[in-house]
Each structure stands twice: as C-alpha cells, then as structure tokens.
Amino acid sequence: MNPRIYLLALAAFVAGIDENLVGGILPLLSRELGVSLSAAGQLTAVFSLTFALCAAPLLSFTARVERRTLLIYALLTFAVGNLGSGLAVDYWMLLVCRIISAASCALVVVLASTLSASLVDARLRGRAIGIVFMGISGSLVLGIPLGIALSEAISWRAPFLLLGALALVIAVLLRATLPTFASRPPLSLLDYCRQLVIPKLLLAQLVSVLLLTGHFVLFAYLAPYVQKTMGIEGVSLSYLYLYFGLAAISGGFCGGWLSDRLGFRRALVLIPALFTVVMAMLPWATTSLFSFLALYAVWMALSWTISPVVQNYLLHSAPEAGEANVGINTSAMHLGVALGAALGGVVIARGSLEITPLVGALMTVFALAAACLSLLLSRPGNSAMTSGDPL
C-alpha cells in the first residue's frame, strides 16, 4: 500500500477527533457553558449539518484548484476554527467556530478519500479508502479519550487548541511529501444534483444517511447513556472510549477488506443487516459488564464498515463522477450524523435516554431496505458495474 495514504489517514484522524470530540465531553460542556445537555448535543448536529451542506458546494467552487494545495488550505482553515473554539467566550461563539471547522473538515475528508483512491490500483481502492476511515475511527482510540482526559485535567478548551496545532503540523507534512494532483474539470452544483436523480446512486447514498442516523441516535449521547445505564464516568469513561475506538479501527479495515474481497455489492447488504440486529440487542447488553463490552464493541466496529463499502460501490458504479459521488456521500454521512444527533435529542427530551438504541435500530432497517433496492436497480445490464463483483 502506498505510504502516502497513511498521511491522508492522519489528516482524517484529526478531522475525526474534531467531529466526535463533543460527544465525549458533553456533560462537561453542558455544565461549563451553562446550557442543557440537549443544547450541548446540538453542537454535534450543527457541525455535521454544516459538513453535509458545504461538501458539494466547496468541491464545486474549488474544482480548478490543485488538490494537494486545496487540502493544505482546508487544513489551515480547520486550524483557525479549532483555535477559535478553544478561545470561545460563550456557547454562541463556540457554535460559530464549530461551523468554520466543519466546512473545512468537509474538504479534508473528501480529499483524503478521493486522493487515497487515486494513489492505488482499482483493485485496492476499497482498502485504501478503508485506511483513511481507519484514521477517522482511530480518533476514537486516541483522540476522544485524550480529549476527555485533557478536559477533565485542564479545561474543555484544551482539546480544541491541541487540534488547531496538530492541523498546522499535518499541513506542513503533506506539503512536503504528498505529490501534486491535477485539478478537476469544473462541476456545477447542477452536475452534483444530476447524480442524485440516478435511482441506484441515490439509494446508495441513503444507506449512509439512514445507517449513521441510527448509529448517532445513541452515539451522540453515549457518554450520558453509559453514565446512566452502567455508572461509568470520569477517567473510566475515557478508557471505555479507548476500548470502543480499538473496535472502530477494526471496523474501518474490515469494511475496506470486505468491499474488495467479498464484493462491494454483497457487503452493501450484509453490513446494514448485521448492524440492525446488533443495535436492537444493545439495551439488553447493559445487564452485565461482559455483555456490554462485547456487544457494544461489535456495534462500534460495524458502524465504521459501511463508509468504505458505499464509496467503493459508488466509484465502481459511476467512475466518471467519482469525486462528485464521494463528495455527496461524505455529505450524506454527515447528514446522517446530524439527523441522528437531532433525533436523539428529541428522544431524550420527550422520551427516555434508554430507548435510543431501539430508535436507532428502526432507522437502520430503512438503510437495509435502501441497499437492497439499489442493488436491485443496478442488476439489469449496468455496464458501470464491474464484471468481477457478482452477487
């Protein structure tokens, strides 16, 4: 595997920390900023919604910019947003800085995925994208536990300031080692919209939206959920995120491997099916520490397998519009995160924290249905599909 892919994974790692950090320090943010738990949780929803809305327009407006240069500029803007978050004087300033971070993060993640696929042969695309998503899931291993520890020991501001500094370092490393890439032919927003009127591609995007909506109904509120159901908090919570992060890293790798070995079409159905079953079982896993650790680790691993599979499916289905579809998919994923965080807030406010896994499982049933319909539509004489990936 091209070693430069690991640098792109490092950029994705920092982006993943920023997106997931708030979920780990949610109770602390709520207390320090003087806002409700639900309001603090909406920082995740706003970040992901901004990400979802900005990815396609930013890719369209920057199509003529050389891709390595664009990635470096995106990282520098990302650094500014996080440094501002660390210096925020109130909830609203933090919200604005999170929007700046999210918009730049959209470019970082999309470019990391597409450039990694450009650095390898087509037969290795799934694994290359999987490595990038291992960087994102790896943020759960080191980033979120570190964020929790820094927040508890120093301040909730410390993780944001550290992220800003890390982004600057990574920008320098990429400038020195990553090759240049040709700019893309300009695509209008209408060109992006045209991809969404192709039924099989739209349904594939919905797989990401719906599965991650289901996942984040619980994951955005995992810290208070674990505190209430298992009594785990403080430093112990950071160790728990470390454990879950290790499981998530394995999921990113397995998703890419399954996409290449089992076939991206088979994997597109298998993963939502398994995820639905596992998530429906989560409420009963809290009866003992062993069952909790075992089943929740499987849940975390499965949540990171879907992205490499869907993106590989899209790249093979419409190779001429690869960056556009991956950009849309990155927006789709973050739309799912935003919807999941928002829906979880509604469930908590009007129902109960304990039922969030069941609400999430209901959403992933729809993801499975979307996957099946997409494959059904792709079967009759679709020349864009590779002949080496039989059902």
pLDDT tens column, 308-321: 888 878 877 777 66
% of the chain surpassing 70 pLDDT: 88
pLDDT reported for residue 323: 67
The predicted-structure confidence for 54-85, as pLDDT tens digits, reads as follows 877 887 788 778 888 889 999 999 999 999 98
pLDDT reported for residue 310: 86
Q: Which of 111-125, 302-316, 323-337 has the lowest mean pLDDT?
A: 111-125
50-53 CB contacts, 8 Å cutoff, 24+ apart: 50/98, 50/99, 50/102, 50/103, 50/106, 51/19, 51/102, 51/103, 51/105, 51/106, 51/109, 51/330, 51/331, 51/334, 51/337, 51/338, 52/106, 52/331, 52/332, 52/333, 52/334, 52/335, 52/338, 53/331
The stretch 33-40 carries a mean pLDDT of 77
Domains in the chain, please, with CATH?
4-378 (1.20.1250.20)
Q: How far apart are CA 278 and CA 299, in angstroms?
A: 6
The stretch 293-305 carries a mean pLDDT of 87
pLDDT reported for residue 367: 93
pLDDT reported for residue 391: 37
**3-state class percentages of the chain: helix first, strand second, coil last, to nearest 5:** 85, 0, 15
Under 8 Å between Cβ of 115 and 8? yes
Q: 306: which 2 tokens?
A: 């879907």
**pLDDT band (50, 70, 90) for residue 125:** low
DSSP 8-state class, residue 187: -
CB within 8 A of 159, min separation 6: which ones?
17, 21, 25, 86, 146, 147, 150, 151
Q: 188: which 2 tokens?
A: 């209008």
**pLDDT band (50, 70, 90) for residue 276:** very high
The stretch 280-305 carries a mean pLDDT of 87
The four Cα atoms 167, 168, 172, 173 give a dihedral, to 10 degrees, of -30
Residue 287 vs residue 79, higher pLDDT: 79
The stretch 190-205 carries a mean pLDDT of 83
Q: How far apart are CA 222 and CA 299, in angstroms?
A: 12
pLDDT reported for residue 99: 92
Residue 326 vs residue 58, higher pLDDT: 58
The predicted-structure confidence for 335-358, as pLDDT tens digits, reads as follows 887 788 888 888 888 777 888 889
CA 56-59-62 angle, 5° bins: 145
The stretch 209-230 carries a mean pLDDT of 87
Q: Which of 161-175, 266-280, 342-356 has the lowest mean pLDDT?
A: 342-356
Distances (CA, A) of 244 to 207, 226, 352: 23, 12, 23
Under 8 Å between Cβ of 19 and 337? yes
Q: How many helices (H) and strands (E) in the chain?
A: 17, 0
Q: Please return the burial class of 176, using the count of CB atoms within 10 Å of its CB with bins 0-12, 13-18 and 19+.
A: exposed
Q: Which of 145-149, 152-156, 222-226, 378-382 has the lowest mean pLDDT?
A: 378-382
The stretch 361-373 carries a mean pLDDT of 93
Residue 7 vs residue 391, higher pLDDT: 7
Q: How far apart are CA 133 and CA 127, in angstroms?
A: 10
pLDDT reported for residue 233: 74
pLDDT reported for residue 97: 92
Among 59, 60, 67, which residue's Cα sits nearest to residue 11?
Answer: 67
